[in-house]
Amino acid sequence: MSHERLHELLGQVHQELERADSIDDESRELMFEVSDDIRYLLESGREKTEDQTRPVGDRLDDLVLAFESRHPRLSRMIEEVIDTLGKMGI
């Protein structure tokens, strides 16, 4: 159930990113990269290591802070992703 919920949340985050035109390209790209890394983690059971220096959770925390004031809905969605990952033990 948690995997399904997480995929649903990531889809909602992607939709919100597509609608929000005031998000800078760097933040938008980071969110897409983190989403891809989460999908990889769910499929393989481990995090990618070759192209990242920080764990997914840390990068998600940074995104919450970046979006908090200008995109509170997106920030709450990302917090829900973090919570779901935590419940899954990730």
- At 19 the pLDDT is 83
Tokens read off for 52: 């990242």
Full domain range(s) for residue 49 = 2-87
Number of domains in the chain: 1
How confident is the model over 53-77, as pLDDT tens digits?
Answer: 678 888 888 888 888 888 888 899 8
How confident is the model over 25-41, as pLDDT tens digits?
Answer: 888 888 888 888 888 88
pTM for the structure as a whole: 0.76
- At 26 the pLDDT is 82
